[in-house]
Each structure stands twice: as structure tokens, then as C-alpha cells.
Structure 1
Amino acid sequence: MLTRTSTQSLTEQLAGRFAERIRTRLLAPGARLPSVRECARQQGVSPHTVVAAYDQLLAQGLVEARRQRGFFVRDVIAARAGPAPSTLKPLAEPPVAQPVPADASTLIRGMFHRPSDKPQPGMGVFPSEWLESPFTAAAVRRMTSTRALQDASLQYGEPAGDGGLRRSLATKLASINVPAGPEQIVTTVGATHALDIVSRTLLRPGDPVMVEEPGWALEFARLEALGMRILPVPRKADGPDLEVMERYCNAGDGHKPKLFVSVSVLHNPTGYSLTPGSAHRVLQLANQHGFHIVEDDTYSHLAPEHATRLCALDGLQRTVYVSGFAKILAPNWRIGFLAASPELVGRMLETKLLATLTTPSLFERALAWCIDQGQLRRHAERVRLRLEGARGRTVKLALAAGCTLASEPAGLFGWVDTGVDTDALTQRMLDEGYLLAPGSLFHARRPPSTLMRINFATAQDATFWKVFARVRAQL
């Protein structure tokens, strides 16, 4: 909070706080700053202090004043390439839908630059202490003996990935009934890289892509950056909205979807899992209308093996399977993979070669040892048990704080209705040192929302919910 004992004046502190949020895009271009009166009330300072702070932001070119409307965040990157702030013409009136105060990269940056040392309910990963295990160090030591280290370091690895790891992954996929031999598997730099390879192989700029909504904000941002046309498909408890998918599929030539991106099991952010009936209908649509499906199974280590997966039912004919290990084991090993039909896997390997040549085999060999020795399986069982307890505690705290659950609690994430605008709530909670994941981030067009995604592993802190209840009551 602002303090009068600081070496900086209250004006400098307030201006610095807003400037930092603008530069890190916690306040996105187009977002409106609180009114002078409202900001003064929030921060416990005089309106004169707020006016002076906003004047500093104007002088730095970070905001602009719109007559009788207030102060709005400028696009700092675009402004650097444009004329000086003093010569800018007033911007046209903004569209009705206001930009959200945080974007997809905000949560990603939060993984590396936490707003405080407090538990962060908006994060998408387990706390590091949950992932600590002695066997990962043992695996790396085995792979860094003098001869092994030289073999892994002094030459490029196999283009498709380490052969031992791909054999281990084929066995692991067989346990969830996904038929893929080692020759159908390509390792990647994390699951996001795998998704990118699939998109770059199967799509061209302007192609329509169906994506579940709500869905992971990074996927919307990634596809938009590639120039794809996003077709949101509402995600329901049993699977995607089939009527909406069918309407997209019946569009005229040139408008039919080329790809469907789905998180079938423990969907992010709702926790929903696909039912067999819905899965069969999705596959019927894919075969009838000729689109491919990429199934993101990032949370497979937290799900039961018998969970319904499109790739298992389809046998990798029109489906591509994607997963990784950052969520459950070692985020910095950066190992993901994809599995596809023999007809597609060669094309996807070419896409990988053009981007990264190969992937480092040292950690891939270490991961293969962890899988083959059963260490990964036992570690995942311990994490699932710990998560179950955290989920129960977090649900009780959320209900006591006045929230309701928008979906049945499952997996790592909870989809919670706060009853207030979570974009505004996110900004207020940042003042308290907490980064939230507002519901607008999980929609392609980012409409205002009262929902937020919480991480059960990091939201079981009673202190957070006390602060949350106080700030929520103020809104």
C-alpha cells in the first residue's frame, strides 16, 4: 500500500504503481483508469494526489485523457513507433466492449515475476514444493556421466526426439488406449510447442478454427497471432456444444472449420471431462465435415486412465494427441510431445525441423528413466492425493467468502462465481499482492465476467480469502 514514510512522495508511488502495471500489461491498452474520486477513495489519498499522479503518467506517454471520459491506457509499444505524445491526435471513440485489464501473457509473466511472496490463486501451475522429488536429480546424474554427457552434448539428437523416450511414451499412451508406436511420436519443447507445430502444419492464415470457450487464454492469443479465425464453441459439462459446432460445419465453402482444439479431460478452466456420447458425436462431425481435432491432454497425470479421450476412440485417424510434463514433474525440462497418424507425423516432423531442428536429448533421456522406473507414476499419485485435500479446503473457503461454484470441482482448477466484475476485482487484489485469473481472459472476445479461475493448490490460504471477501464487499 502507499506509505507516507517512503522516500517517494504519495504522487510518485501512485504513478509508479500504475506505470509498472501498464508496462507489464496488467493494465492493457484501452483500459480505463479509475476516476480521480474513486482512485482517491481506494488509495486513501486526496484527489489532488491522484490528479498529480495521472499528470505524471500523461507526461510519460503511458495514458491519454479523453474529454469527459477519463484517463485511458495507451499502447506503449505502438506509441514508441509513432509520433511523440504531444503530437498525437485524440483517438476515436473505443468500441462498446472494453479491453480487459490483463491479457494471456499477464499470467505467464506472473509465473516468473510474482507480484508478492504470497500464494497466487491465479497461477496455472503447482507450487514448486509440490514438484520436489529426489528421483529427478538422480535421473539427471545418470545422464551426465562423462560418456553420456558427451554423447548428448556433442551432436544433435534424433529429429523426432530421443528414441528411448518415444518408446516409453508409446507404452504410456497404450495404458490410456491411445494407439501410437514410437514412430508416430514427436517430442517438443513443451506442450505449447506441440500445439504450435500442429497449427503450423494443418492451418494457413485466415483458416477458421473451433476452440472451446471458456478456454485457455494462451490458445486464443496464439491462434490470433498466427492469423487464424477463431470460432468459439461453448464448453458444457459433457463436452463441446454440438449444435454450435454443427452450425459452423454447415457454413459455406471457405468458412468451414479446419481444426477443433479441445481439452477433453479436466478442461481448463472448468474441470469438465468429456462423456463417451459427446465424444462419438464430435468424431462423427469431424469425419463428416473433414476437420482435424487436436486433443490437449496436459492434465492427463491428474486424471483417471479410464477417462474418455477422443484420440483413444478415433485411433489417431483425424485426431492428434498433445501432452507434456511441465505441470507434473519438471517445468524447466521443457518436454512435451505429440502423437499423430503415420500420414501426418512426417509433415509435423518437418515443421519441427524448420523451427528447432531437434530437441535436447539429455533431459529426454532423464525423463525416459523416470517413466520406466515407475517414479513418475508414483510421484503423480502423491500429487493427486495432495491435490484432493487442497481442493476440499479451498472449496470450503470459497463458499465461506460468498462465492459459488460454476462447475463441479475437479482437477487443478476451480471455476468460481464471485458475484462481482472480476476485471475490477483483479486490479484491486493486485494492490493486496494477489494475481487473479478473471473470467474474461478465458473468452475469445473477452466480455466482462463475474467468474474467475482459481488454482486449488495455491488458493487454500485462509488469509487470501479474508482479503478477497473484504475487497469484494467494497466492489
Structure 2
Amino acid sequence: MLMKTSTQSLTEQLSGRFAQRIRDRLLAPGARLPSVRECARQHGVSPSTVVAAYDQLLAQGLVEARKNRGFFVREPSPEPESVRADAPAGDRPVSPWGTATGWITARHVAPTQATALIRGMFHKVSGRPQPGMGAFPPEWLESTFMPAAVRKVTGTKVLQDFSLQYGEPMGDSNLRRVLAQKLARLNVPATPENIITSVGATHALDIVSRTLLRPGDPVMVEEPGWAVEFARLTALGMRLLPVPRRADGPDLEVMAKYCEAHKPKLYVSVSVLHNPTGYSLLPGSAHRILQLANQHDFHIVEDDTYSHIAPEHATRLCALDGLQRTIHVSGFAKILAPNWRVGFLAAPPALVERLLDTKLLATLTTPALLERALSLCIEQGQLRRHSERIRARLDQARSRSVKLALNAGCRFESEPAGLFGWVDTGVDTDVLAQRMLDEGYLLAPGALFHAERKPSTLMRINFATTQDAAFWKKYSELVRRM
């Protein structure tokens, strides 16, 4: 609660609280502030205090007032538009690059909308488990084999060899060899010569985008989908073509319309344990996607970030396609060592040299010491056993979290699977997220997972961090007041 002090008025305290959250990107551009009456009730102040605080935010240029709608965090500069599959050519304005960009159906995608969640992860809003986190808790990842592997590859002679010269351009040869063996178990036919290491999976996705795309190019993305990928592609100047993601795969009818109307260059997919829904691709849909790719000449990048907690027999486009039009991307931040930042891509032979050139221009090489340590963890079976322990622990956590969520009145939009749950709260989760932040909880509201930000009653929860009954009790209290 706000308290009167001799140095700062209630108005200054309230405006300062909102200002700090806006500057820290904990309140994303486009987010609506609570109504004056609701904010007054929530903070125990008079409506006139709230009006004065909002006026200060207006004067600072942090918010804008929209007639009959309320106060909103100011949007950044306009970004390239998303387009709709059935938009007629005459309705599509000309982009800064001189090409048709499709028409706007809602707001622009802004990188800060995605980084609001990431910044929240790093700001440590409280010491409580955070429902909106995108990773396992650090204590889940603790092991003795990782430090041992690092010690083994940092003996005096080895350390000098690795430290005093650049690593191999494509990545450590030992790691690429064991990665090829690992992919073979997923029926993805990669050789060490098909594999390039990266600074995490996100860097691998960036290598692919910067190699295959140019500003203004249309890219099909799954919706709901990964907020960071939407923001990253938009920052590069791409046009997003949102494809609804269903239980069996993407909406193929929408994909076909996009192919006819916009000739997309790329389709970005999370086939297995999709974020945020938990869906996994079915074979029938996979075959049709590959047919469309061949017919309309676009590439597919398959983000397999959650492969370590997924069944090996799950349907993967890269396995069915044999790395012809597909590019496999994955990493180890989710399952093993977030700060090692080791990722990789496996690509068709014809693309490898182009992708490698892009990597070299951005990072030269990648840290060979940690890549070699990771290769030991994989080769000796330690990563596999570690993943099995994590999967077993996650299964138990998911069961508990689902029960707590259902008891709190949530409805699961999709069958709970993997790390994340996609739940319907029945209330505006942008507003709910602001109120839960005051209680020390970071949420992941549904608007973040759409290419065009709009109000949503959905939110993504992390099953590993939502086993706390205290969170669900506070959640229920706030929802009842909304």
C-alpha cells in the first residue's frame, strides 16, 4: 500500500510506481492501466490522487489517454504490419520497401511487448515461484556432472589450446558429431557437416532469418506462438502471417490462402510441445505442410527446443522431409545450462555455407570450451539421464498444477502437456497481470502470444512454478474482484 511521507506525496508514489514498471518494460506498450476507480480501490487512495498520478505519466510521455477507453502505455514507433490471408491486393498498402505488405487487423508487433516478460524474469519481482517464467527453476537443473565436464576440458594444456585461438567456424567437431548421433535417434538424417552451433536456439533462428529473408518478406508464424520470435522477426522488418495453431497442427486452409496471396518465404513451427499450447503435430498435417512447401517454394524452420522433454517418436517435419526444405533448430538452455548459451541448427547441405557466412559475420565462432563440455555430457549419457529425471519431476508437477488451476476456476484451452499450460481465466489477463505484479507474481498474459496484440482471457502458466497454493489463492481473490 502507498503511505504518506514527508518527502513524497501519494500521487508521486503512485505515478513513480507505474513509471518504473513502464521503463523496466514490466508494463508492455499497449497495456491498459486500471480504471481510475479501480486503481483508487486497489491502492487505497482517492480517485483524484489517481487522476493526478495519471496526469504526471501523461506529462512524462509514458502513457496516452484514449477517449472513452482509458489510459494506455504508449506504443513505440510503428513496425511492419501483419497481414491477413484473405486481404485483397487493393487493400494492401505499399511498404517502405515498395512491396505490398497486407493490411492491419489490429496493433503492430513491438519487440518490447515480448521483452516485457523477459525483463520480468531478470528483475526478480519477488522470491516467489513465478507462473510466467519460460524455463525450469534453477534448482531443477542442478547437477554434479556439468561442473565435472567443465573441469575435464579446462586442464592446463586444453584450456590454452581453446583460449588462445578461435574455435572451428561451424562449431566444435566433437559436439557436432554427438549431435548428429542424437538427431539420428529422432530420425533426422543429419551429419556433422549439416550442423552449425550457435549462441543458443534463438541465435540459430536469427541465423536462419538473416540468411533466407530480406526486409518486407512474408513469414508464416503459428498463433498463438512464441512472443520473442514474433518480436525478433518484426524487428528485422518481416511481415508476419499468423496461422492459427490447432491440436493436430496449423490451420492448413489459412496456410494455403497465404501461399496463394502472399508467397511466403518461410514458415516457423514448433511441432512438438508447442509453446504455449503444448500441442504436438500429427502426421497427416505434417505431410500436407511439406506438400505446400514444395508446391509454393518456401522453407520451414522447425524449433525443437522442447525435444529433451518430448517423446522421441513425436512427429517432426525435419524427419519426414529429410532436411530438404526444413531446418532443425534446438538448444540446451531449457534442460541443462541456460548460461552456457549453446544451441545449434541442422540444415540442408545446399544452405550450410550461406548459414555459416551469416554466423561468422555475427559472432565469428562460438565458445569451444562449453561446446566440448556439453559434448561430454551427451556422449557419456549424463544429459539423457538428467532429462529423464526432469521429465519425471515435471509429470508430477503438472498433475499438481492442473488440479490447483481447475480448483481456482481455470479452464484448460488445450490438453496439458510439456512445460506449459494454456488456460482460460475468464478475465482480461493484461489487467490481471498488472494486479498480480503488485502481489509479487509475474504472469504471461495471452496477448503476448499473438502477432497482433489484443485483449485476451488466456494466460500461459509454467507447470514447474505453479504448484504453490498461495499463488492460486491470491489469483482467485483478484479474479473475484474483477
Q: Does TM-score exceed 0.5, indicating one fold?
A: yes
Q: Is the 8 A contact 2:26 2:119 kept in 1?
A: no
Following superposition, the deviation at residue 369 of structure 1 comes to 0.5
Is 1:472 matched up with 2:472? no
Distance (whole Å) between structure 1 residues aligned to residue 61 and residue 325 of structure 2: 50
Partner of 1:139: 149
Partner of 1:362: 369
Partner of 2:302: 295
Q: What's the secondary structure of 1:434's corresponding residue?
A: coil
1:368-416 deviation line (CA, Å, top 9, x unaligned): 0000111000000000000000000000000000011100000000000
Q: Is the 8 A contact 1:31 1:98 kept in 2?
A: no
Q: Is the 8 A contact 1:28 1:100 kept in 2?
A: no
1:329-381 deviation line (CA, Å, top 9, x unaligned): 00000000000111111110011011111001010000000001110000000
Partner of 2:39: 39
Q: Is the 8 A contact 2:109 2:452 kept in 1?
A: no
Is 1:189 matched up with 2:196? no
Is 1:413 matched up with 2:420? yes
Partner of 1:404: 411
Following superposition, the deviation at residue 15 of structure 1 comes to 1.6
Is 1:63 matched up with 2:63? yes
Distance (whole Å) between structure 2 residues aligned to residue 30 and residue 137 of structure 1: 44
Distance (whole Å) between structure 2 residues aligned to residue 6 and residue 40 of structure 1: 21
AA paired with 2:26?
A: L
Unpaired runs of 5+ residues, structure 1, are: 79-94
Written as runs of structure 1 = structure 2, the 5 A alignment for 1:137-216 is: 137-216=147-226
Following superposition, the deviation at residue 117 of structure 1 comes to 1.1
Partner of 1:16: 16
AA paired with 1:33?
A: L
Following superposition, the deviation at residue 433 of structure 1 comes to 0.9
Q: What's the secondary structure of 1:236's corresponding residue?
A: coil
Partner of 1:454: 461
Written as runs of structure 1 = structure 2, the 5 A alignment for 1:358-397 is: 358-397=365-404
**Structure 1 residues 282 and 72: alpha-carbon distance in aligned structure 2, compared to 1, 3 A threshold:** closer
Following superposition, the deviation at residue 33 of structure 1 comes to 2.8
Distance (whole Å) between structure 2 residues aligned to residue 111 and residue 61 of structure 1: 26
Is 1:220 matched up with 2:230? yes
Q: Is the 8 A contact 1:271 1:413 kept in 2?
A: yes
Which region of structure 1 is more displaced relative to structure 2, 15-24 or 156-165? 15-24
Following superposition, the deviation at residue 26 of structure 1 comes to 2.6
Q: What's the secondary structure of 2:245's corresponding residue?
A: strand
AA paired with 1:163?
A: S
1:177-227 deviation line (CA, Å, top 9, x unaligned): 101110110000000000011111111111111101110011111111111
Q: Is the 8 A contact 2:25 2:119 kept in 1?
A: no
Following superposition, the deviation at residue 30 of structure 1 comes to 4.4
1:58-96 deviation line (CA, Å, top 9, x unaligned): 443433456766544345899xxxxxxxxxxxxxxxx99
Distance (whole Å) between structure 2 residues aligned to residue 99 and residue 467 of structure 1: 33
Following superposition, the deviation at residue 31 of structure 1 comes to 3.8
Give the counterpart of 1:443 among 445, 450, 463. 450
Q: What's the secondary structure of 1:250's corresponding residue?
A: helix
**Structure 1 residues 76 and 293: alpha-carbon distance in aligned structure 2, compared to 1, 3 A threshold:** closer
AA paired with 1:470?
A: E
Partner of 2:281: 274
Distance (whole Å) between structure 1 residues aligned to residue 6 and residue 330 of structure 2: 48
Partner of 1:49: 49
Q: Is the 8 A contact 1:28 1:99 kept in 2?
A: no
Q: Is the 8 A contact 2:109 2:451 kept in 1?
A: no
Q: What's the secondary structure of 2:193's corresponding residue?
A: helix
**Structure 1 residues 335 and 470: alpha-carbon distance in aligned structure 2, compared to 1, 3 A threshold:** same
Distance (whole Å) between structure 1 residues aligned to residue 77 and residue 316 of structure 2: 42
Following superposition, the deviation at residue 118 of structure 1 comes to 1.1
AA paired with 1:298?
A: T
Q: What's the secondary structure of 2:327's corresponding residue?
A: strand
**Structure 1 residues 7 and 126: alpha-carbon distance in aligned structure 2, compared to 1, 3 A threshold:** farther
Which region of structure 1 is more displaced relative to structure 2, 375-384 or 7-16? 7-16
Q: What's the secondary structure of 1:222's corresponding residue?
A: helix
AA paired with 1:371?
A: I
Following superposition, the deviation at residue 112 of structure 1 comes to 1.3
Distance (whole Å) between structure 2 residues aligned to residue 319 and residue 436 of structure 1: 34
Is 1:115 matched up with 2:125? yes
Following superposition, the deviation at residue 445 of structure 1 comes to 0.7
**Structure 1 residues 224 and 280: alpha-carbon distance in aligned structure 2, compared to 1, 3 A threshold:** same
**Structure 1 residues 174 and 149: alpha-carbon distance in aligned structure 2, compared to 1, 3 A threshold:** same
Partner of 1:91: none
1:158-188 deviation line (CA, Å, top 9, x unaligned): 0000000000100100111101110110000
Following superposition, the deviation at residue 51 of structure 1 comes to 3.0
Distance (whole Å) between structure 1 residues aligned to residue 214 and residue 8 of structure 2: 52
Q: What's the secondary structure of 2:465's corresponding residue?
A: coil
**Structure 1 residues 317 and 77: alpha-carbon distance in aligned structure 2, compared to 1, 3 A threshold:** closer
Q: What's the secondary structure of 2:130's corresponding residue?
A: coil
Distance (whole Å) between structure 1 residues aligned to residue 105 and residue 221 of structure 2: 24
Q: Is the 8 A contact 1:30 1:99 kept in 2?
A: no
Q: Is the 8 A contact 1:264 1:309 kept in 2?
A: yes
Partner of 1:347: 354
Q: What's the secondary structure of 2:392's corresponding residue?
A: helix
TM-score by length of 2: 0.90
Q: What's the secondary structure of 1:34's corresponding residue?
A: coil
Distance (whole Å) between structure 2 residues aligned to residue 6 and residue 242 of structure 1: 63
Distance (whole Å) between structure 2 residues aligned to residue 186 and residue 151 of structure 1: 21
Partner of 2:97: none
Partner of 2:89: none
Q: What's the secondary structure of 2:464's corresponding residue?
A: coil
The runs of at least 4 aligned residues of structure 1 exceeding 6 Å deviation read 98-102
Following superposition, the deviation at residue 8 of structure 1 comes to 4.6
Q: Is the 8 A contact 1:100 1:440 kept in 2?
A: no
Is 1:259 matched up with 2:266? yes
Partner of 1:103: 113
AA paired with 1:147?
A: K
Q: Is the 8 A contact 1:440 1:448 kept in 2?
A: yes
Following superposition, the deviation at residue 244 of structure 1 comes to 0.8
Q: Is the 8 A contact 1:415 1:452 kept in 2?
A: yes
Distance (whole Å) between structure 1 residues aligned to residue 241 and residue 109 of structure 2: 20
**Structure 1 residues 96 and 309: alpha-carbon distance in aligned structure 2, compared to 1, 3 A threshold:** closer
**Structure 1 residues 180 and 100: alpha-carbon distance in aligned structure 2, compared to 1, 3 A threshold:** closer
